[in-house]
Structure 1
Amino acid sequence: MGGAKNHAESLTARGFNDTSEAICTVHIADDHLLDLVAHDVASGLCAFCDTPREETVGLEVVVSNVVRAIERSYDRTEVPSDWVPSLDTSDVLWDEFGDVFEPETQLFILGCLNELITVDNWEPLGWERQDGSTYADWRTFRKLVTHRSRFIFVANKDRHTPEGAEEASRFVAEFQRIIMENSEEIIREIPRQTVIYRGRMVSSLDDAQSLANAAALGPAPDDRAAANRMSPAGISLFYGSATQEAAVAEIAAHDVEQRDFALVGAFETLRRFRVLDLTNLQVPSVFDESRYARRGDLGFLKGFVADITSPIKLDGREHREYAPTQVLTELIRWSRYPSVDGIALPSAQARNLAVDNTANYVMFFGPESIEGHGSLRDGSRPSFRLPAGSIEAYKVNRRVDAERAQWRSSTR
């Protein structure tokens, strides 16, 4: 009786039940978890594909590492509270371990882990300021700047401020902290002589000849600069792409006249640039102890980037929908630390192209930065040039994809 009681107490303390089943390493997609279980790998029968395998690991070994990983960010709680946020085990598994196992058996494996873990509820450590709260503050900031106050949103006790100003101010401070504390991972250098492609749409190849020059293909003058995702009307920035295909996809998607040809110039950088690179954010594995502290920040940035690069319909709403990213771009542009020359983002339009690099660049330079076209305001040297023979024309083929909707007419 005493032995059974002690064993039950041991199971409660460690947080999971006994099991003799095994999982083959084929189903584990996370390299850090594979490293952690490497010493326990042996031949056996995989419970998830019901096949003898040369490399399997006991499910107890896996679940023990899963519980240990959960306890880096959560405390066990017996009874959910009305005032302290808590998650049940299945929610934690989906939130934190959704990409740990290969997709075909992911649902089955997470279900088994949920049955093995004896803890029902988990309370986030430091729940008062969780990464989810940062995302909630971003949503408040976005709504406030889009619909309530474009220019005065920082909370100030000495003046009237709109509802949500406190959360918006908190988000701005948190966003700046995330950028600063993760700068070594998200700021990179663009070498001199890097090619960045810019273009414009034209109605015919006859029109192309008069526009095949740096002045026409470079950033617009301030008085003609239209509103864009990262800059309001009247502020000219250098927008470009890493490939011709991405450049064409971007300018064609924003062409309300639906013209048939794109003229693209290969601009060359004349010096090194530092950019905030949000194109390939590597969120640390839940099992990566050395980088785990960055997991929340980089995870937030990944969701944030997905938000700000989602396509926006050009029906007039873009002028307000662009406001939050325009404000943040100015915040980044004029920040002293980290000081950057631009931002690199994944293309909203080119993500399905069969090219290796679909990055877009927003460089903090106007038309005066192009060699031979415009005078520099501060007497500095130009930043870009358009070499002779570097302009090409493209025929744009627009395509509409359709899939059957789950709907059926009720009329007979």
Structure 2
Amino acid sequence: MSQLVCTDCLTEGYLRDKAADNDAGECDYCARELPVMDMEELVELCDAAIEASFQPIQQPDSVIHHGYPPVGESLYDVLERILGANQTLLSDIHERLLDSWSYHGAEDDPYFVEETEASSELTMGWRKMEHSLQFESRLANPMVGNILAMVFDGIEDLRSKDNRSAIVEVGQGKQITSFQRGRVFQDDKTMEEALKHPEKHLGPVPRGKGAPGRMNAKGISVFYGATDDHTAIAEVRPPVGSMVVTARFDVIRPLRLLNLHDLASMRPHRELSYFDPVRKSLSERCAFLKALQRQLTMPVMPDWAESGYLITQAIADYLATHDQLNLDGILFPSVQVAQDASPGQNVILFHKASGVERVKAADEAEHVSLYEPDEDRWIYYPEIWEAEPKSDDEHSQYLLLVPPPEPSLRLARDCIVIHKIQGVRFSTEADPVRYVPWSKDRKYHGFR
């Protein structure tokens, strides 16, 4: 006869609630008369919970042959994590699962990592959406909205292992308070003209004139920046001999950004039971987000930019107009800088959050110079002289048909830097090509 486990011995909340309406019986672990669950059912539930949220991991040779500590969690540790029951009950479930798995050819002493397969429904839906965007409809495409809703709706409720959200706030008093933006110049004259009104020429281009980018369609004005100078310079891909002007833009109102880097570490909330079917669906969604994060941050070759940016542009459009998430932009890793060389990230601020203070013509600098005389020669000494403040009635009073977005950024005019590009460094992975001389006896190792 199978053992019985009462609701008091089932310390896991979801299972206790599940057994609360069962018939009363004598518990084989505490001998009390309470609602009980059959041990066979409990073992099956544990088996299903482990399969839904964990993957067995093969031990490396260093563990098998050299006695290094095992990688992952033992079955007993996993049971203790998901069940939290008394040791006697855990030992009995542990023994029964091992007997069952051994019968099916599993390892005698398995170890696990908390990981699951990506949702097949999301994976197939995503592929269909990519195909539809490329070959059917790019604007009024209902499939795009449906799939992106499945991926991103409610994402603010997911957390990383250290309880971080994928949505971060930036601005005064936050970890990120400003962004760097770079622009390439190839001659002094053009650069000097731009510095006369840096907000206008170093900030985002006016709407209607923007080129298509990773996360904006042509004509949509957005703010692309980075969290440090090194990343900002790399992203504009300057040729050797050119100059890059970087400028710091301070965030002057709170902004909410989705951090793509953190998508890979998202998981269901720690308080959600491993036995709750909702956790399985969330785990599959998190696994999909991990794969998606890698796809969204992969380099796109220039010849394939138009089609390669379709997905990221669609995602940006969807997130920019999502009422519940209320996002102002996206943080994402740079593909131009190796992550071990700089921890910097890129940012796109959607049009609604890309406004910069002091972009009116009256805010133009009084004087800009790049050189000053020093005895019998000229030395490089860039300067911007601020103009005398003008009263409000001297500003242009014409009314725009569509007003610009509320300013979110303020250029720090005393934090503009000119970088003379003297060399470019590449990070490469080299694969030599094997040359095979002709011989009638040579054999192919792959497909011809």
TM-score, reference length from structure 1:
0.62
> What pairs with 1:165-204 in structure 2 (closer than 5 Å)?
165=143, 168=144, 170-179=146-155, 181-182=157-158, 185-192=165-172, 194-204=177-187
Aligned AA for 1:399? R
Separation in structure 2 between the aligned mates of residue 115 and residue 231 of structure 1, nearest angstrom: 50
> In structure 2, what is the equivalent of residue 139 of structure 1?
127
Partner-residue secondary structure (3-state), 2:335: coil
Query: Do 1:239 and 1:360's aligned partners in 2 also have CA atoms closer than 8 Å?
Result: yes
The AA in structure 1 aligned to 2:217 is: P
Give matches, 1:115-130, under 5 Å.
115-116=107-108
Kindly report which structure 2 residues correspond to 1:6-405, keeping only aligned pairs within 5 A, or say none. Answer: 48=64, 50-51=66-67, 62-65=74-77, 115-116=107-108, 131-154=119-142, 165=143, 168=144, 170-179=146-155, 181-182=157-158, 185-192=165-172, 194-204=177-187, 207-212=190-195, 213-252=198-237, 260-281=242-263, 283=265, 293=279, 294-315=282-303, 317-352=304-339, 354-356=341-343, 358-365=344-351, 369-374=355-360, 377-378=402-403, 381-396=406-421, 397-400=423-426, 401=428, 403-405=430-432
Q: Are the structure 2 counterparts of residues 116 and 360 from structure 1 closer, same or farther at C-alpha, using a change threshold of 3 Å?
A: same
State how many pairs are aligned: 303
> Is the 2:351–2:405 contact (alpha carbons within 8 Å) kept by the matching residues of 1?
no
Q: Give the gaps of 5 or more residues in structure 1.
A: 1-9, 16-32, 34-45, 72-112, 119-123, 155-164
CA contact (8 A) 2:320 2:327 kept: yes
- Aligned AA (1:383): S
Instruction: Give, in whole Å, the separation in 1 of the partners of 2:273 and 2:171.
Output: 27
Q: Give, in whole Å, the separation in 2 of the partners of 1:50 and 1:266.
A: 53
Structure-2 separation of matches of 1:174 and 1:408: 49
> What secondary structure does 2:342 align onto?
coil
**CA distance 1:371–1:47, shift in 2 (3 Å):** closer
Separation (CA, whole Å) in 2 of partners of 1:61 and 1:207: 61
Larger radius of gyration: 2
Work out whether residues 137 and 170 of structure 1, in 8 Å CA contact, stay in contact via their aligned partners in 2. Answer: no
CA contact (8 A) 2:182 2:245 kept: yes
Residue identity opposite 2:131 in structure 1: K
Q: Deviation per CA, 1:245-292, whole angstroms, max 9, x where unpaired?
A: 11111111xx6x776332111111111111112223463689967586
Q: How much does 1:219 deviate?
A: 0.5
Cα distance change on mapping 1:409 and 1:144 into 2, 3 Å = farther
Percent identity between the aligned chains? 22
Q: 2:156–2:166: 8 Å Cα contact kept in structure 1? A: no
CA contact (8 A) 2:249 2:411 kept: yes
The 1:50/1:368 distance shift into structure 2, 3 A limit, reads closer
Q: CA deviation at 1:354?
A: 2.3
Letter in 2 for 1:321: G
Instruction: Tell me, in whole angstroms, the C-alpha distance in 2 between the residues paired with 1:231 and 1:333.
Output: 11
Cα pair distance change 1:225/1:366, threshold 3 Å: farther
Residue 98 of structure 1 is matched in structure 2 by none
